[in-house]
């Protein structure tokens, strides 16, 4: 029976290293949530605390309504999938999948039918008698998923399960894992540092940074309404500029950028615009390279010089020096006329596409 998971003020340090700083997270029953963030931000620690491999220094962990903070791992009924598959090399596929069922003394005839059912679930019927060394990476990972859900767990935890696979297989397996999760309707916590993978697979994403959860939301919420420059930069590509609020009225804010010009943003909440240092962010697909005579149709324009132009098949990346630390990236459709380096131009966009972000 799938269940919700609640982390309440959960903190964990290893000696002087603070791995988690009192995080709160509620994972709904049947939800697929991804912990996303750079190396060392605390993703694996969070997973290990839920699994019971580590104990928190403070806080509580609930599974359903039960406080499992001090419950040993084997009593938590949690399935776990690791990047290195962790299959038993000396056991066949069938014996690997059957292992958790045997441990729970499931009758032999039930084990046989359950293994068959699980191999069908992961679309690998026919490999029962093979050993793990006779499987491809994708197949091995399917078997480790089958083993993790053999005795239906209350929650499935997956730590970078696709990290060892090449890109094409990764994409196939993303869809496969999601299908399996949806078929079983099992509450799942998935860890990755790959933002595309997180966006492809998850109901919600928790973006982590330095032992804290910076933002939780659907892929769309996080991409379209990031709260901080960190989240905006980690999830997708973004052009960032330090900014100071100059004025605000009737839903429009004016902000100073680059020490010499003002741009407009559609106002979000008061709090976001007034607390702490700010910056503005504009997604590359929202920017347009100014075409003479049309620039005035846009709310915002910054002059700049094209420094690089690269074709990547479905789009063209134009890099424009606007006087910021990093060149601005403009994504254009590939049918646009190529621009030579050194071309003077303007990058243009509209006020609703200016994201006002916490710069911290």
Binding stretches for ligand ATP (CB under 6 A): 14, 17, 19, 37, 39-45, 193
Tell the smallest beta-carbon distance from residue 12 to ligand ATP (Å): 8
Comparing CB distances to ligand ATP, the nearer of 17 and 291 is 17
Comparing CB distances to ligand ATP, the nearer of 41 and 282 is 41
For 239, residues 6+ apart whose C-beta sits below 8 A from its C-beta are 281, 282, 283, 284, 287, 324, 326, 328, 329
Comparing CB distances to ligand ATP, the nearer of 46 and 332 is 46
The answer to whether the beta carbons of residues 81 and 156 sit under 8 Å apart is yes
Comparing CB distances to ligand ATP, the nearer of 17 and 125 is 17
Cα separation, 33 vs 170, in Å, equals: 18
Q: Kindly provide the residue ranges of all beta strands, DSSP E only, lying in the chain, ordered along the sequence.
A: 5-14, 17-27, 32-36, 58-63, 66-67, 78-82, 155-159, 188-192, 204-209, 212-217, 239-249, 252-257, 261-266, 278-282, 288-289, 300-311, 316-321, 328-332, 344-349, 355-358
Tell the smallest beta-carbon distance from residue 167 to ligand ATP (Å): 18
Tell the smallest beta-carbon distance from residue 19 to ligand ATP (Å): 3
Tell the smallest beta-carbon distance from residue 323 to ligand ATP (Å): 35
Comparing CB distances to ligand ATP, the nearer of 200 and 210 is 210
Tell the smallest beta-carbon distance from residue 233 to ligand ATP (Å): 17
For 213, residues 6+ apart whose C-beta sits below 8 A from its C-beta are 23, 24, 25, 206, 207
Tell the smallest beta-carbon distance from residue 338 to ligand ATP (Å): 39
Comparing CB distances to ligand ATP, the nearer of 30 and 59 is 59
Q: Give exposure, 171-202, as e/b (b: 16+ Cβ within 10 Å).
A: eebbebbbebbeebebbbbbbbbbbebbbebb
Tell the smallest beta-carbon distance from residue 15 to ligand ATP (Å): 6
The answer to whether the beta carbons of residues 36 and 234 sit under 8 Å apart is yes
Question: Residues 10, 236, 21, CA angle at the centre, nearest 5°?
Answer: 15
Tell the smallest beta-carbon distance from residue 96 to ligand ATP (Å): 25
Question: What backbone phi and psi angles, to 5 degrees, belong to 10?
Answer: -85, 120
Comparing CB distances to ligand ATP, the nearer of 37 and 236 is 37
Comparing CB distances to ligand ATP, the nearer of 86 and 339 is 86
Cα separation, 158 vs 6, in Å, equals: 17
Cα separation, 155 vs 81, in Å, equals: 11
């Amino acid at each position: 029976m799938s269940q919700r998971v609640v982390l309440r003020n959960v903190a964990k340090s290893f000696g002087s290293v603070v791995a988690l700083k009192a995080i709160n997270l509620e994972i709904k029953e049947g939800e697929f949530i991804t912990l996303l963030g750079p190396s060392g931000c605390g993703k694996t620690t969070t997973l290990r605390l839920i699994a019971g491999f580590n104990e928190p220094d403070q806080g509580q962990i609930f599974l359903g309504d039960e406080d499992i903070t001090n419950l040993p791992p084997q009593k938590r009924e949690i399935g776990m999938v690791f990047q290195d598959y962790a299959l038993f090399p000396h056991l066949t596929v069938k014996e690997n999948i059957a292992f958790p069922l045997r441990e729970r003394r499931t009758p032999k005839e039930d084990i046989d039918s359950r293994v068959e059912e699980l191999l069908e679930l992961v679309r690998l019927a026919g490999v029962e008698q093979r050993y793990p060394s006779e499987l491809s990476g994708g197949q091995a990972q399917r078997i480790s998923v089958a083993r993790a859900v053999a005795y239906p767990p209350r929650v499935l935890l997956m730590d970078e399960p696709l990290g060892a696979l090449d890109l094409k297989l990764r994409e196939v397996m993303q869809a496969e894992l999601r299908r399996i999760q949806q078929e079983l309707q099992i509450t799942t916590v998935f860890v990755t540092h790959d933002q595309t993978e997180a966006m492809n697979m998850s109901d919600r994403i928790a973006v982590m940074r330095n032992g804290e959860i910076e933002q939780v939301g659907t892929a769309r919420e996080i991409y379209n309404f990031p709260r901080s420059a960190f989240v905006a930069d980690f999830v997708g590509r973004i052009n960032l500029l330090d900014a100071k609020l100059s004025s605000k009225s009737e839903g429009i804010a004016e902000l100073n950028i680059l020490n010499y010009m003002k741009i407009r943003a559609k106002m979000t909440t008061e709090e976001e615009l007034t607390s702490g240092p700010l910056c503005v962010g504009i997604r590359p697909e929202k920017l347009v390279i100014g075409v003479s005579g049309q620039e005035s149709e846009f709310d915002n324009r910054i002059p700049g010089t094209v420094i690089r132009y690269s074709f990547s098949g479905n789009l063209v990346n134009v890099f424009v020096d606007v006087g910021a630390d990093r060149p601005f990236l403009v994504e254009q459709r590939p049918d646009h006329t190529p621009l030579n380096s050194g071309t003077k131009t303007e990058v243009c966009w509209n006020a609703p596409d200016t994201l006002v972000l916490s710069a911290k």
